[in-house]
């Protein structure tokens, strides 16, 4: 069986799945990138936490490698006051100060998002809306979501009015997630 695995791996049949490649094969990774519009691929490992079940792992891998037509998966949305942009930090590109109560008028609030974007996926129909008292105050486009298991994107807006704000993530006119923020 070992020689069969080596023969198939040598032919490159498993090259698209790094965990199945022969041990000598280098993993296919993308370098971390951060652009001025705050879109980045994760460059550091997250805390491992509890291992997923084999079925969960298969579902995620299948979606990542074959879910292009289904679109990007919004994993998490956080209203945030600070994102760690330090180059060598273990929390690089993470929201390190989430909104945990009312914020003062004039504060900048960041809509921080985490995505799983399938292989060969590129999506340009995603935006973040900052809504105050039911009216859209500002819309920030996400220029492009590109392939990545863990992609972070964030946009900020100044909370210029007191009241109830909602940070919404929208794709193709459909609300994907929302977070409320009270501004005093």
Domain boundaries, the chain: 1-30, 39-183
Is the pTM value of this prediction over 0.75? no
- Output the six-digit token pair for 158: 């100044």
If you search the block for the tokens 């920030």, which residue do you land on?
140
In the chain, count H helices and then E strands.
2, 9
More confident residue, 121 or 41: 121
What was the pLDDT predicted at 46? 52
Q: Is 60 exceeded by the pLDDT of residue 180?
A: yes
If you search the block for the tokens 């995603």, which residue do you land on?
126
If you search the block for the tokens 């280098």, which residue do you land on?
26
CATH topology of domain 39-183: Immunoglobulin-like (2.60.40)
Give the tens place of pLDDT for each residue, 45-94. 455 678 999 999 999 999 999 999 999 999 999 999 999 999 899 999 99
Query: How far from 90 is each of 31, 112, 138, CA to CA, in Å?
Result: 16, 17, 32
Q: Is 90 exceeded by the pLDDT of residue 3?
A: no
Query: How many whole angstroms separate alpha carbon 149 and alpha carbon 27?
Result: 14
Q: Is 50 exceeded by the pLDDT of residue 43?
A: no
Helices assigned H by DSSP within 43-147: 54-66
């Amino acid at each position: 069986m070992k020689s069969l695995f080596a023969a198939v791996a040598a032919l490159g049949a498993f090259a698209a799945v790094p965990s199945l490649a022969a041990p000598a094969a280098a993993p296919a990774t993308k370098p971390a990138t951060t652009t001025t519009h705050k879109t980045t691929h994760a460059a550091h490992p997250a805390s491992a936490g509890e291992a997923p079940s084999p079925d969960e792992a298969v579902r995620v891998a299948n979606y990542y490698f074959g879910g292009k037509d289904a679109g990007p998966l919004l994993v998490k949305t956080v209203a945030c006051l600070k994102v760690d942009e330090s180059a060598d930090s273990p929390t690089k590109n993470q929201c390190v100060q989430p909104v945990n109560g009312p914020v003062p008028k004039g504060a900048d609030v960041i809509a921080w998002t985490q995505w799983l974007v399938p292989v060969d996926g590129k999506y340009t129909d995603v935006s973040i809306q900052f809504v105050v008292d039911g009216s859209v105050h500002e819309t920030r486009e996400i220029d492009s979501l590109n392939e990545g298991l863990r992609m972070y994107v964030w946009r900020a807006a100044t909370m210029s009015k007191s009241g109830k704000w909602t940070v919404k993530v929208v794709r193709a006119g459909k609300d994907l997630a929302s977070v409320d923020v009270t501004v005093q």
